[in-house]
Amino acid sequence: MSTYRTNTCGELTIKDLDKKVTLAGFVSTIRDHGGVMFVDLRDHYGTTQIVVHDDAMLKGVSKETVIKVTGVVVKRDEETINKKIATGEVEVVIDSLELLSDTAKVLPFEVDESKKVSEDVRLKYRFLDLRNPKVHENIILRSKAFNFLRNKMQELGFLEIQTPILTSSSPEGARDFIIPSRKHKGKFYALPQAPQQFKQLLMASGFDKYFQLAPCFRDEDGRADRLVGEFYQLDMEMAFADQEDIMEVAEKVYPAFFKEFGKRRVTEGHFKRIPYNEAMLKYGTDKPDLRNPLEIIDISEVFTNTEFKPFKGAIVRAIKVDNIASKPNSWFNEVVDYAKSIDMPGIGYISVMEDKSLKGPIDKFLTDEDRKALFEKAGLNIGSVLFFIADKRRDVVTRNAGLIRTYLGRKLDLMDHDLFEFCFITDMPMYEISEVTGKLDFMHNPFSMPRGGEKALDEEDPLEIYADQFDVVCNGVELVSGAVRNNRPEVLVKAFEKAGYTEEDIKSKFNALYTAFGYGCPPHVGMALGIDRALMMLLEEDNVRETVAFPLNQNGEDVLTGTPNEVTELQLRETHIKLR
Domains 14-101 and 292-414 share a fold: no
Residue pair 220/240 in contact (Cβ under 8 Å)? The answer is no
| C-beta pairs of 97-102 under 8 Å, 24+ apart in sequence | 97/52, 97/57, 97/58, 97/61, 97/67, 97/68, 97/69, 98/67, 98/68, 98/69, 99/60, 99/61, 99/65, 99/66, 99/67, 100/4, 100/24, 100/66, 100/67, 100/68, 101/65, 101/66, 102/60, 102/65
The amino acid present at 349, given as its one-letter code, is Y
Q: Write the CATH number of the domain with boundaries 292-414.
A: 3.30.1360.30
CA proximity to 324, closest of 280, 281, 359? 359
**H-only helix segments in 110-230:** 119-124, 126-129, 133-155, 196-204
CA proximity to 523, closest of 133, 191, 244, 130? 244
> Phi and psi (nearest 5°) for 243?
-60, -35
The amino acid present at 406, given as its one-letter code, is T
- Of 3.60.21.10, 3.40.640.10, 2.40.50.100, 3.30.930.10, the CATH number of 136-273+422-548 is 3.30.930.10
Residue 119 burial (10 A CB sphere; 0-12, 13-18, 19+): middle
For residue 373, the surrounding DSSP H or E stretch is helix 368-378
Radius of gyration of the chain (CA): 30
Omega before 361 within 30 of 0, i.e. cis: no
385 - beta bridge partners?
321, 351
Neighbours of 181 (CB within 10 A): 14
3-state secondary structure 423-480: EEEECEECEEECCCCCCEEECCCCCECECCHHHHHHHCCHHHCEECEEEEEECCEEEE
Neighbours of 438 (CB within 10 A): 8
User: The whole model's pTM is what?
Assistant: 0.92
Residue pair 530/480 in contact (Cβ under 8 Å)? The answer is yes
The amino acid present at 288, given as its one-letter code, is P
- Cα distances (Å, whole numbers) of residue 178 to 77, 183, 186, 231: 62, 15, 12, 17
Determine the pLDDT at residue 172.
67
- Cα distances (Å, whole numbers) of residue 445 to 83, 453, 466: 52, 15, 12
- Of 2.40.50.140, 2.60.40.1930, 2.60.40.10, 3.40.50.1220, the CATH number of 14-101 is 2.40.50.140
CA proximity to 52, closest of 36, 68, 74? 36
The amino acid present at 578, given as its one-letter code, is K
Domain ranges of the chain: 14-101, 136-273+422-548, 292-414
Residue pair 550/129 in contact (Cβ under 8 Å)? The answer is no
pLDDT by position in tens, the chain (length 580): 689 999 999 999 999 999 999 999 999 999 998 889 999 999 999 999 999 999 899 999 999 999 999 999 999 999 999 999 999 999 999 999 999 999 888 999 999 999 999 999 999 999 999 999 999 999 999 999 999 999 999 999 999 999 999 999 877 668 999 999 999 999 999 999 999 999 999 999 999 999 999 999 999 998 999 999 999 999 999 999 999 999 999 999 999 999 999 999 998 899 999 999 999 999 999 999 999 999 999 999 999 988 889 999 999 999 999 999 999 999 999 999 999 999 999 999 999 999 999 998 888 888 899 999 999 999 999 999 999 999 999 999 999 999 999 999 999 999 999 999 999 999 999 999 988 888 999 998 888 999 999 999 999 999 999 999 999 999 999 999 999 999 999 999 999 999 999 999 888 888 999 999 999 999 999 999 999 999 999 999 999 999 999 999 999 999 999 999 999 999 999 999 998 8
CA proximity to 127, closest of 558, 550, 551, 552? 550
Residue pair 340/401 in contact (Cβ under 8 Å)? The answer is no
Determine the pLDDT at residue 1.
63
CA proximity to 467, closest of 451, 489, 443? 451
